[in-house]
């Protein structure tokens, strides 16, 4: 779930660095481990790669030292099975046509995969590259740029989102449409699953290399994506709002107030409140200077973050029957602490409504879901989970309900079902 931003201007006098910075800031939520920026001005290459957040490193002086009419930016999400010492993308390669750069967000399962071969195939015959990329197994988005062209590709299942936009004579590829909005760019189209887009000679063309069922990662709609993004034609905000409405339809509950777990549960909480007629109020204050808890790589870091990032608004909670809507429960660390905070603040009852099904299986392809034994829902019934986290009642949104809210396009949902489409594909072949 890292973030990608590729920018290619046909006017070689354009400096796209400021646009690249804006695009990466808009995608910061997709990865906080570090970032990489690579730009090209003719055959001159500029690189900046750092650990941490953009806001901790970037300043005007650094940006002024980077320039070019094309560039790729990358914000890194660190899976727990990865090493913190892995090289940061984008990578730079020398080709027959000069310097090039490439970045890939995903997990390639082919044992013999390497970037050198990928770059060589990109610069060979189009048909040969299409055959090669179809042979890659796994989940990926990639952006490649050299002096003549930009190429964007999305894996055959479309597990991660990617879209294309334009600003005057500059083409922009980004992981989410919210980055195009931040750059005041025009949205052109989503990169379809199993498709590549070639930007060259002043225009772009679309080439399909695979036809497989659509499998967008459902966690994009639940948690990962920014709510102001449109993914494969579906509004993330509206999908999350509908999740809250559907929760009430599936499990109507009497209460005095509805609150949301900040920040990813707030929209669904508003949908629940609207459907139920129960007032939505602010119940928990989040310290916005604390990073997202779920994507912290260790349990110790997650616990520490929860303890310092949340505080109750006691005046809104005292002697109230509270419905708390959360986006998901993975390990249970955050929700258990939130329930303690609410009850310490005087809440009479706390009813948890989760805008997704129970997480049953680990995942290493789309989002970092830990080993099964670390999942609170893996070997516990709903009642056992309820007892462990300490709430008065607990309900998970049905998988069918979630899919309905997200547009029924077909989804990657291994973490909810245990079905691994890549293992099934290996059996088919």
Q: Which residues are catalytic?
A: 5
Q: At what angle do helices 115-122 and 126-135 cross, to 10 degrees?
A: 150
Measure the CA angle with vertex 23, ends 17 and 29; round to 5°. 135
Give the integer Cα–Cα distance in Å for 149 and 267.
40
Q: Do residues 209 and 193 lie in contact, with contact meaning Cβ atoms separated by under 8 Å?
A: no
- The response to whether 327 counts as a known ligand-binding position is yes
319: Cβ contacts below 8 Å, ≥ 6 apart: 346, 348
Give the integer Cα–Cα distance in Å for 277 and 111.
54
**Pairing mode of beta strands 163-167, 44-51:** unpaired
Strand order, beta sheet including 3-9 = 44-51, 34-41, 70-76, 3-9, 170-174, 163-167, 186-190
Other beta carbons within 10 angstroms of residue 202's beta carbon come to 8
- The response to whether 55 counts as a known ligand-binding position is no
Q: Which of 79, 81, 32 is nearest to 57 (CA)?
A: 32
Q: Which of 144, 176, 163 is nearest to 70 (CA)?
A: 144
Angstrom distances, CA of residue 217 to CA of 230, 233, 307, 411, 415: 14, 14, 29, 6, 10
Q: At 255, is the secondary structure helix, strand, or coil? A: coil
Give the integer Cα–Cα distance in Å for 178 and 270.
21
Cis upstream peptide for 263 (omega within 30°):
yes
Tokens 């059996």 correspond to what residue? 427
Q: Do residues 174 and 163 lie in contact, with contact meaning Cβ atoms separated by under 8 Å?
A: yes
C-alpha of 6 from chain center: 17
Q: Do residues 198 and 142 lie in contact, with contact meaning Cβ atoms separated by under 8 Å?
A: no
Other beta carbons within 10 angstroms of residue 325's beta carbon come to 30
Cα radius of gyration (the chain) = 22
- The response to whether 232 counts as a known ligand-binding position is no
Q: Which residues are documented as binding site for Mg(2+)?
A: 264, 326-327
């Amino acid at each position: 779930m890292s973030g990608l931003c590729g920018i290619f201007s046909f006017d070689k006098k354009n400096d796209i660095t400021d646009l690249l910075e804006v695009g990466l800031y808009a995608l910061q939520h997709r990865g906080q481990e570090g970032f990489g920026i690579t730009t090209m001005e003719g055959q001159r290459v500029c690189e900046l790669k750092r650990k941490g957040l953009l806001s901790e490193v970037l300043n005007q002086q650094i940006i002024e030292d980077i320039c070019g009419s094309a560039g790729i930016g990358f914000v890194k999400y660190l899976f727990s099975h990865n090493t913190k010492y892995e090289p940061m993308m984008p990578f730079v390669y020398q080709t027959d046509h000069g310097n090039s750069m490439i970045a890939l967000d995903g997990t390639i399962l082919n044992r013999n995969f390497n970037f050198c071969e990928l770059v060589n195939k990109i610069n060979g015959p189009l048909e040969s590259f299409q055959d090669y990329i179809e042979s890659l197994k796994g989940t990926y988005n990639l952006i490649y740029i050299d002096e003549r062209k930009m190429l964007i590709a999305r894996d055959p299942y479309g597990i991660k989102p990617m879209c294309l936009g334009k600003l005057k004579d500059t083409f922009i590829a980004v992981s989410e449409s919210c980055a195009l909005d931040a750059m005041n760019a025009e949205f052109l189209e989503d990169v379809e699953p199993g498709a590549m887009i070639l930007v060259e000679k002043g225009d772009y063309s679309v080439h399909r290399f695979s036809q497989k069922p659509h499998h967008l990662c459902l966690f994009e709609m639940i948690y990962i994506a920014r709510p102001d993004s449109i993914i494969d034609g579906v509004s993330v905000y509206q999908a999350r709002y509908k999740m809250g409405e559907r929760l009430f339809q599936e499990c109507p509950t009497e209460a005095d107030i509805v609150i949301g777990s900040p920040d990813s549960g707030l929209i669904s909480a508003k949908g629940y409140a609207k459907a139920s007629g129960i007032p939505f109020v602010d119940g928990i204050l989040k310290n916005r200077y604390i990073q997202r808890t779920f994507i912290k790589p260790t349990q110790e870091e997650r616990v520490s973050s929860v303890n310092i990032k949340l505080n109750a608004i006691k005046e809104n909670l005292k002697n109230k029957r509270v419905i708390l809507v959360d986006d998901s429960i993975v390990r249970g660390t955050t929700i258990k602490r939130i329930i303690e905070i609410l009850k310490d603040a005087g809440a009479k009852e706390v009813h948890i409504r989760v805008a997704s099904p129970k997480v049953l299986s680990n995942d290493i392809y789309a989002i970092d879901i830990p080993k099964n034994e670390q999942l609170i829902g893996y070997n516990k019934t709903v009642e056992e989970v309820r007892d462990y986290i300490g709430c008065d009642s607990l309900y998970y949104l049905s998988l069918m309900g979630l899919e309905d809210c997200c547009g029924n396009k077909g989804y990657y949902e291994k973490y909810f079902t245990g079905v691994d489409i890549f293992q099934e594909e290996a059996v088919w072949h």
